[in-house]
A and B are shown apart, each in its own frame.
Chain A
Amino acid sequence: MRLSRRSLPLVAAAAACALAAPAFADNVSVTLTGAGGTRQFSVEDMSGQPLTALDLTNNAQPFKVHVADNSFLPTAGQGNYTVTASMSNLYLKTGSSTYNYAVKIPSSQLSVGFGSNPLSATGLSLVDLPKLSLTGSLTCNPLNLQSLSDTLGLGTVGSLAAGVLTSLTNLCTAITTAGGTGAVAATADGALQTLSLAISDVLDSPSALSGATGGTFTNASYDSGTVGAGDTAGASGAPQATQVTLMQGTQSLSAGLTTLIQNALDSGLPLVSSTGAAAETTTLAVTTALQNAGTAMDTALRNLLLTLTSSQAATAINGALHLAGFSAPSLSDIQAVTGSYYSVPVLQASARTPVAGTYGGTMTVTFVQS
Chain B
Amino acid sequence: MPRTLQRSLLLLLTALALLWAAPSGAFAAGTGGIEITPDSGTGPAQTAFHVKVPSRGSVSVGFFLRNVTGAKVTGRLYATSAARDAAGHFSVGDAGSAKGVSLKETTVTLAPHEVRHETFQVSGKVSGTQYRAIVIEVQHGAITERAATVVYLTPGRRVPVPVVLGTVAGVLVLVAGVLLLVTRRRAGRSATGPS
Please list the residues of chain A having a beta carbon within 8 angstroms of any beta carbon in chain B: 23-24, 26, 28-32, 34-43, 50-54, 71-73, 75, 78-82, 84, 127, 211, 223-227, 240, 243, 245, 248, 335-336, 360-370
Q: Which of B22, B24, B146 contacts A73 (CB 8 A)?
A: B24
Q: Which of B22, B68, B146 contacts A38 (CB 8 A)?
A: B68
How far, in Å, is A132 (CB) from chain B's closest CB? 18
- Subset of 9 A-B contacts with CB under 8 Å: A24-B7, A36-B26, A38-B30, A52-B140, A52-B143, A73-B23, A79-B47, A225-B95, A369-B147
A223-B95, A224-B94 given; A32·B148 CB < 8 A:
no
Give the docked Cα–Cα distance between A26 and B14 (Å): 13
Cβ contact within 8 Å between B146 and A364: yes
For chain B residues 1-53, which have a beta carbon within 8 Å of chain A?
A: 3-4, 7-8, 11-12, 15, 18-19, 22-33, 35, 45-48
Question: Does B91 count as interface, using CB distance less than 8 angstroms?
Answer: yes
| Beta-carbon nearest neighbor of B69 in chain A | A40
Residues of A within 8 A of B28 (CB): 37-39
Give the docked Cα–Cα distance between A37 and B31 (Å): 14
Give the docked Cα–Cα distance between A108 and B194 (Å): 98
A26-B7, A75-B47, A248-B89 given; A363·B30 CB < 8 A:
no
Q: Which of B19, B146, B147, B150 contacts A370 (CB 8 A)?
A: B150
| Beta-carbon nearest neighbor of B87 in chain A | A248
- 8 A-B pairs closest in CB distance: A73-B25, A37-B26, A52-B141, A35-B24, A364-B144, A369-B29, A366-B146, A39-B29
| Beta-carbon nearest neighbor of B13 in chain A | A28
Cβ contact within 8 Å between A369 and B145: no
How far, in Å, is B13 (CB) from chain A's closest CB? 10
Question: Does B76 count as interface, using CB distance less than 8 angstroms?
Answer: yes
Residues of B within 8 A of A223 (CB): 94-95
Cβ contact within 8 Å between A28 and B92: no
Cβ contact within 8 Å between A365 and B145: yes
Cβ contact within 8 Å between B15 and A370: no
Q: Which of A75, A226, A336, A368 contacts B150 (CB 8 A)?
A: A368
A39-B28, A368-B91 given; A28·B68 CB < 8 A:
no
| Beta-carbon nearest neighbor of B149 in chain A | A369
How far, in Å, is A283 (CB) from chain B's closest CB? 15
Give the docked Cα–Cα distance between A119 and B136 (Å): 25
Cβ contact within 8 Å between B145 and A42: yes
Cβ contact within 8 Å between B95 and A73: no
Residues of A within 8 A of B82 (CB): 368
Number of A-B contacts (CB under 8 A): 169
| Beta-carbon nearest neighbor of B23 in chain A | A73
Cβ contact within 8 Å between A368 and B47: no
Residues of A within 8 A of B32 (CB): 42
Give the docked Cα–Cα distance between A168 and B22 (Å): 37
A225-B76, A370-B47 given; A40·B30 CB < 8 A:
yes
A38-B68, A41-B147 given; A73·B18 CB < 8 A:
no
Residues of B within 8 A of A51 (CB): 140, 143
Q: Which of A360, A363, A367 contacts B31 (CB 8 A)?
A: A367
A41-B30, A78-B46, A370-B47 given; A362·B24 CB < 8 A:
no
For chain B residues 88-119, which have a beta carbon within 8 Å of chain A?
A: 88-96
| Beta-carbon nearest neighbor of A80 in chain B | B88
Residues of B within 8 A of A365 (CB): 143-146
Which of A24, A211, A225, A363 has the largest number of chain B CB atoms within 10 A? A225
How far, in Å, is B150 (CB) from chain A's closest CB? 4
| Beta-carbon nearest neighbor of B18 in chain A | A30
How far, in Å, is B73 (CB) from chain A's closest CB? 11
Question: Does B142 count as interface, using CB distance less than 8 angstroms?
Answer: yes
Question: Does B65 count as interface, using CB distance less than 8 angstroms?
Answer: no
Question: Does B139 count as interface, using CB distance less than 8 angstroms?
Answer: yes
| Beta-carbon nearest neighbor of A28 in chain B | B11
Which of A32, A40, A50 has the largest number of chain B CB atoms within 10 A? A40
Give the docked Cα–Cα distance between A51 and B150 (Å): 25
Question: Does B133 count as interface, using CB distance less than 8 angstroms?
Answer: yes
Residues of A within 8 A of B4 (CB): 23, 26
Residues of A within 8 A of B30 (CB): 38-41
Cβ contact within 8 Å between B15 and A28: yes
